[in-house]
Amino acid sequence: MDTLKQITNPYLPSWEYIPDGEPYVFDGRVYVYGSHDKFNGDVYCMGDYVCWSADVSDLGTWRYEGVIYKKSDDPANTDLQGNLYAPDVTVGPDGRYYLYYVLSNCGIVSVAVSDTPAGKYEFYGYVHYEDGTRLGEREGDEPQFDPGVLTEGDKTYLYTGFCAIPDTSRHGAMCTVLGQDMLTVEKEPVFIVPAQHNSKGTAFENHAFFEAPSIRKRNGLYYFIYSSQVCRELCYATSEKPDIGFTYQGVLVDNGDIGIDTYKRADMPGCYCANNHGSMVEIGGQWYIFYHRHTNGTNYSRQGCFEKLVPDGDVKFRQAELTSCGSVPFTEKGFYPAYLACNLFTDEQELSVPWQGWMDDRFPKITQEGRDGDEVNGYVCNMTDGARAGFKYFKCMGAKVISVQTKGYANGKLEVRTAWDGQILGSFDIGYANIWHETEGCVAVPDGVNSLFFTFRGDGHLQFGGFTLS
């Protein structure tokens, strides 16, 4: 059956792996710039930069814009040993689009330029001091990493930094002011958010800067978005100025849903998590947070997702909850592929974040068949006894789960609930199957807005392809 065409998480096809998303609206379309992982990748960011875009009125339909920049396009990367880490884009004073990035094996900032948002981008130069020394290579410079950029008038504010724990040689997120040529340092780096080791006694303590700096402006305030020392969460700080005076405000999203207590305890992980990177964007008067999730049981096959942000006063936002639907409940009936699961966990992993356990085959994970680039639906594999896959949210009146798609050496039941620990609404008998198999039945779903949790009880390793609502 065909997958429904509506807003989903991940928002791109299940075979596409674009983490570190920086979303922008240009001329009525949302463009997302990110790094490019691979299915079964060995390391981070193995692919060339590609771009996807969507009309602002239809966030469920995304268009592939193609390869916009290759790692071979950087003259410092002739041996191709440098992978293209998380980029950002800004519109320069000349109206052109400037792509800022750092290669994985360099601590300097490269820049490419294009006349259109979707490129193709051409190498432009390296960020440097007036004497020509590249930023990051002068004595005393800290290595550059994860550039975020904002242009106002003739000035471009460049935000960079990476502060791994327990390294105390790096001091936090930096802001550097560039001149009209988009390359030359006009104001040298200043630290705007501290690293863990120098955050004690500040509002940033326990949520200090780690990586992934990004910048947005809202209602006259500058919002600095970053991945904190907790790694899985995107935090934010605000200031009336772009390069000084930032105040910690809170967490925008956590890719383990730690802190969310709407459907579980706040300290209970809702899924397996690791690093995070993304940013905010306003679309049609509504703010969204883009972030990434992890698949395939590794750190190297990440996928982009987004959620609505709900204001909490004039400045703050509430922490966004992970969903399968981008916070707009599903209303259609039909087949829902299992890769849309926003919750994955087992009985064993309810009380602690499984930093390493999630890579173990005992635990469920989202994966795909075939090779990287094959346009096939993903699914959930390794569902052992007690494994749960959760999908949120549905607003379907009179809905029934009429079949589940499974395969694998598994024997037991797939139970259906509207809460991870709720009453069983019904179940499907599961038996061994070498190929994808539909098990029919009829499990009524209460009217109203509901989540659906599928729990496997039995022996073996179940592969879960999806379910059909009718």
- Map out the domains of the chain as residue ranges: 22-317, 334-469
Give bridge partners of residue 306 from the DSSP assignment: 290
What local confidence, expressed as pLDDT, does residue 358 receive?
53
The fold for domain 334-469 equals Jelly Rolls (2.60.120)
Identify the burial level of 60 via C-beta atoms within 10 angstroms of its C-beta, where 0-12 means exposed, 13-18 middle and 19 or more buried: middle
CB 429 within 8 A of CB 439: yes
What local confidence, expressed as pLDDT, does residue 327 receive?
77
Report, as residue numbers or ranges, the catalytic residues.
20, 211
Q: Are strands 286-294 and 334-337 parallel, antiparallel or unpaired?
A: unpaired
CB 350 within 8 A of CB 309: no
In degrees, rounded to 5, the angle at the alpha carbon of residue 191 between the alpha carbons of residues 181 and 313 is 100
What is the rounded CA–CA span in Å between residue 114 and residue 94? 11
What local confidence, expressed as pLDDT, does residue 1 receive?
35
What local confidence, expressed as pLDDT, does residue 354 receive?
47
Instruction: Supply 324's token pair.
Output: 């399968």
CB 215 within 8 A of CB 155: no
Output the DSSP codes for 245-290: --EEEEEEEETT-TT--SSS-TTS-SS-------EEEEETTEEEEE
22-317 and 334-469 share one CATH topology? no
Where are any strands of DSSP class E within 313-448?
316-317, 334-337, 343-345, 365-368, 378-383, 388-395, 400-408, 410-417, 426-430, 433-444
Q: What is the CATH number of domain 22-317?
A: 2.115.10.20
- 470 residues of the chain, pLDDT tens digit each: 344 469 999 999 999 999 999 999 999 999 999 999 999 999 999 999 999 999 999 999 999 999 999 999 999 999 999 999 999 999 999 999 999 999 999 999 999 999 999 999 999 999 999 999 999 999 999 999 999 999 999 999 999 999 999 999 999 999 999 999 999 999 999 999 999 999 999 999 999 999 999 999 999 999 999 999 999 999 999 999 999 999 999 999 999 999 999 999 999 999 998 999 999 999 999 999 999 999 998 899 999 999 999 999 999 999 999 999 997 899 999 999 999 999 999 987 543 444 454 556 778 999 999 999 999 999 999 999 999 999 999 998 999 999 999 999 999 999 999 999 999 999 999 999 999 999 999 999 999 999 999 999 999 999 999 999 99
**CA 406 to each of CA 250, 411, 413: distance values in angstroms, whole numbers, following the listed order:** 40, 11, 11
What is the rounded CA–CA span in Å between residue 449 and residue 397? 9
Instruction: Supply 166's token pair.
Output: 């327990």
Of 374, 371, 351, 349, the residue nearest 359 (C-alpha):
349
